[in-house]
A = this chain, B = another copy of it.
Amino acid sequence: MSLLEAKSLETALERGKAQRLTFDHLSYTHLRDDVGQVPKGSVILDDGTVIPGYPSIARIQALDPGIGKQFEGPFWAEEKMDGFNVRIFQHEGQCYALSRGGFICPFATDRLNDLLKPAIFDDYPHLILCAEIVGPGNPYLEGHSPQVQEDVDLFVFDMMVCNEEGFLPQAERMALVEDYGLQPAEIFGRYQPEELNELAELILQLDEEGKEGLVLKPENQKQRAKYVTGRSNIYDISVTGEALLDLPPEYFTNRFLRMGLFMAEHGQQHDHDRLNELGHAMMQGLFRAVQESQKNGRVSNHYRCRFNHRDNADRFMEHIELTGGQRVKVHRGMPRQEGDYWVLEFERIHQRMTGKINQALQGGRQFD
């Protein structure tokens, strides 16, 4: 099956909807936008192989009546992890990891050796593993699921096949994960749409554990849904205060709304500890930002990640310097060898926060 005609791809390239890229010896085309039925974020190799983009998952914000409305039959509840989404494929004996946007990620690709047993690709060369890379050693995100407290780890949550639409069925994926010793995102079980109390209990347990939430995958229909814990909003806010003016402001307002809806649904309106936690979370990052501005004259987030190969660290640096511009500051002497790894330390500077806080602390006048 061919998802994409060669001719459509040429037109897309001409119109700037697709882009030719290379990584090491591999050249590929990356879709910046949907092209026909092929979603943005998809990648096309030079032999025509299509690695489909990972689709968006709709959010529900009320189990009742959301579940009954979205699902007609049984569905699986799995942990939605807080990390970054990659699609892993093998080509000519080498594994690559694609970012959600459809770029080969030098960091994730470099670390696949440590994080994944690749034997599955020997038997299923056209398989694509969809996985979350989670942990404080990731170079993209503030915050991460609590399971990983150092470096990064990898959790498989879906499988696709090159040139095909959709995901492998649940049973098939679960069997492959088992047979090939892969590490899955936790699968909590199979639920019926009527089991609202059980689902509420499950989400409250995840909420307690500081986990992000659930992805709900129906067995006999296509549409999935995600449903996140109230506390994941507090957590997101607690780790992004330094970027208060640099993230879209809706980043924050949307999370307040989600938290309010979650607390109202689960009768937590009088959970004072949780409300207190929110207030502290909102200010912690700002206090850090003020402190950093006083100390270094800038507000930034700091990243430290490890590579097996210096080449990949260099590629990653090139990538972030190209896309991050003045916002990225790679520390001197990087990458630095530490044991078997090459360590890269860098900062992402929040330019609006830096400007506003410096100006305020220097006693400047601001007109709103």
Contacts and interface: CB of A to CB of B under 8 A. Distances in A.
Interface of A: 56, 58-62, 64-70, 223, 225, 241, 244-245, 248-250, 252-254, 256-257, 259-261, 263-264, 269, 272, 274-283, 286-287, 289-291, 356-357, 360-368
Nearest to A362: B65
Contact of A64 (B276, B279, B363): B363
Q: Considering the complex of A and B, which 8 residue pairs feature the smallest CB-CB distances, nearest first?
A: A279-B279, A260-B286, A66-B363, A249-B249, A278-B279, A58-B365, A61-B360, A65-B363
A225 B259 CA distance: 37
Instruction: Specify which of A357, A363, A366 lies most central, judged by the most chain B CB atoms within 10 Å of its CB.
Output: A363
Contacts of A241: 260
Identical subunits present: 2
A257 B286 contact: yes
A78 to B, nearest CB: 18
Contacts of A65: 362-363
A246 to B, nearest CB: 10
Contacts of A356: 257
Contacts of A363: 60, 62, 64-70
Given A60-B363, A62-B362, A279-B282, 11 more contacts: A56-B367, A58-B365, A59-B368, A62-B360, A66-B363, A69-B362, A252-B252, A252-B256, A260-B287, A263-B287, A276-B279
A367 B55 CA distance: 11
Contacts of A254: 368
30 contacts: A56-B367, A56-B368, A59-B368, A60-B360, A60-B364, A62-B363, A64-B363, A65-B363, A67-B363, A69-B362, A245-B253, A245-B257, A252-B252, A252-B253, A254-B368, A256-B282, A259-B286, A260-B286, A261-B360, A261-B361, A263-B283, A269-B287, A272-B280, A275-B280, A275-B283, A276-B276, A277-B279, A278-B279, A279-B280, A279-B281
